[in-house]
């Protein structure tokens, strides 16, 4: 049989879904892409047996329906080197020998039977459903991914928690040291519920959404979720277990409040961070009326640095310590010209919020303090 497809379309789709393939697979067939042609549409699938990513392309031309698997590395590397042009695929129905003809040459390689490729679980008819615009989910995932943990003892912390209530979704991630929380409003929801999306599928969805428009539909049950956009569909296994009560760790009474330019603070932190202890990465923030002093030191190497920033602060003078790398991550994931830092005292978690909240959502970051030596 024969089919024709654009080289750039095929290459870009394979590149995106190929991220679902694991570096080491127990099933050799999972080192392949699944090609399925039916009714003039090519469906491409990649999987690691827990996360299955599918996309589809309407073909320029085809003369029969067929399914086969192709080694992922072979076809991805080959497609990268071909400039935009139509590709003619010829597949021998019996031997699955594949010939790809392009403007100045051709490739020959073998396909594999499609019946060995594992299928994702069937859709759960009882699954709950929510729908939201692509940019809303993209921003929620982008603000949460950096805060997920790599914790073998508490696997629930290794994903992003979706807490779904009436017309709003709270997206939470935490590793026990930092917490990122976004409340997304105006969401279409069939019923309240919750689920924990693992880090890998969350990263895959974020990469997909960067090129998508329209709405994203999420259907979830107790064990699996299906996330669909206009051009992609992902079926993934969820993390089972109960997520900790994230509201209980957010301090409610924070009388010390400082407003500062985010870019200026980021720049100062990057400069001062160079002179902090490699082991602790401790950064000290000293707050005085109208001024924030950012400082660090490494006693072992007799190094130190400090930098003063203008800020809006009218509270009592106080000092608090934070891990510099974590503070940089938090500030880098807030999209606002100014930030507000809310503090109770030097022993309690600090809250960091954008001075102007994004449209139809609210963002809160939390960072646990570090003990100061002085």
Q: pLDDT tens digit string along 312-326? A: 998 889 999 999 999
- The rounded distance, in Å, linking the Cα atoms of 152 and 346 is 30
Whether 359 and 306 have beta carbons less than 8 Å apart is answered as no
- Between CA 248 and CA 48, with CA 152 as vertex, the angle to 5 degrees is 115
Residue with tokens 């698997």, as numbered in its chain? 69
- How many CB atoms are closer than 10 A to CB 261? 18
Parallel/antiparallel/unpaired status of strands 66-71 and 188-189: unpaired
Predicted confidence at residue 95, as pLDDT, reads: 94
pLDDT at residue 374 is higher than 70: no
pLDDT in tens, 58-106: 998 888 899 999 999 999 999 988 999 999 999 999 999 999 999 989 9
- The rounded distance, in Å, linking the Cα atoms of 192 and 166 is 7
Predicted confidence at residue 352, as pLDDT, reads: 97
Structure tokens at 338: 């100014």
**Radius of gyration of the chain from Cα atoms?**
25
Domains of the chain: 2-116 (3.10.150.10), 128-245 (3.10.150.10), 250-367 (3.10.150.10)
Predicted confidence at residue 173, as pLDDT, reads: 97
Half-sphere exposure of 12 (CA within 13 A, CB side): 14
Question: By C-alpha distance, which of 306, 302, 297, 265 is closest to 279?
Answer: 297
In our burial notation (b when 16+ CB lie closer than 10 A, e otherwise), range 137-175 reads bbbbbbbbbbbbbeeeeeeebbbbbbbbeeebbbbbbbb
pLDDT in tens, 276-304: 999 899 999 999 999 999 999 998 889 99
pLDDT in tens, 186-239: 788 888 899 999 999 999 999 999 989 999 999 999 899 999 999 999 999 999
- The rounded distance, in Å, linking the Cα atoms of 169 and 246 is 14
Average pLDDT over residues 20-26: 92
Residue with tokens 């127990």, as numbered in its chain? 26
Whether 215 and 227 have beta carbons less than 8 Å apart is answered as no
- The rounded distance, in Å, linking the Cα atoms of 253 and 136 is 30
pLDDT in tens, 317-351: 999 999 999 999 999 999 999 999 999 999 999 99
pLDDT at residue 28 is higher than 70: yes
């Amino acid at each position: 049989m024969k089919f024709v497809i654009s080289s750039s379309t095929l290459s870009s789709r394979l590149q995106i879904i190929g991220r679902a393939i694991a570096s080491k697979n127990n099933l050799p067939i999972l080192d392949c892409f699944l090609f399925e042609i039916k009714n003039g549409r090519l469906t491409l699938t990649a999987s690691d047996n827990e996360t299955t990513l599918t996309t589809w392309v309407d073909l320029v031309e085809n003369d029969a329906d067929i399914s086969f698997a192709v080694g992922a590395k072979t076809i991805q590397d080959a497609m990268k080197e071909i400039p935009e042009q139509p590709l003619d695929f010829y597949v021998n129905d019996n031997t699955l020998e594949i010939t790809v003809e392009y403007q100045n040459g051709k490739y020959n390689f073998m396909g594999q039977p499609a019946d060995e490729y594992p299928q994702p679980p069937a859709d759960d008819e009882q699954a709950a459903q929510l729908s939201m615009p692509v940019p809303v989910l993209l921003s929620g995932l982008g603000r949460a991914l950096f805060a997920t943990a790599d914790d073998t003892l508490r696997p629930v912390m290794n994903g992003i928690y979706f807490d779904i209530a009436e017309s709003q979704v709270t997206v939470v991630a935490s590793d026990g040291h930092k917490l990122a929380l976004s409340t997304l409003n105006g969401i279409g929801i069939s019923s309240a519920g919750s689920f924990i999306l693992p880090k890998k599928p969350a990263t895959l969805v974020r990469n997909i959404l960067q090129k998508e428009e329209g709405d994203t539909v999420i259907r979830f049950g107790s064990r699996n979720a299906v996330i669909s956009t206009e051009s992609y569909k992902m079926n993934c296994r969820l993390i089972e277990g109960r997520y900790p009560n994230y509201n209980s760790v957010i301090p409610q009474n924070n009388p010390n409040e400082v407003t500062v330019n985010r870019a200026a603070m980021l720049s100062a932190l990057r400069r001062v961070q160079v002179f902090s202890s490699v082991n602790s990465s401790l950064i000290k923030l000293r707050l005085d009326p109208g001024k924030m002093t950012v400082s660090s030191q490494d006693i072992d190497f007799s190094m130190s640095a400090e930098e003063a920033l203008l800020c809006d602060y009218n509270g009592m003078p106080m000092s608090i310590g934070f891990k510099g790398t974590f503070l940089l991550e938090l500030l880098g994931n807030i999209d606002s010209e100014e930030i507000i830092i809310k503090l109770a005292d030097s022993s309690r978690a600090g809250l960091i919020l954008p001075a102007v909240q994004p449209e139809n959502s609210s963002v809160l970051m939390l960072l646990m303090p570090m003990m100061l030596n002085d």
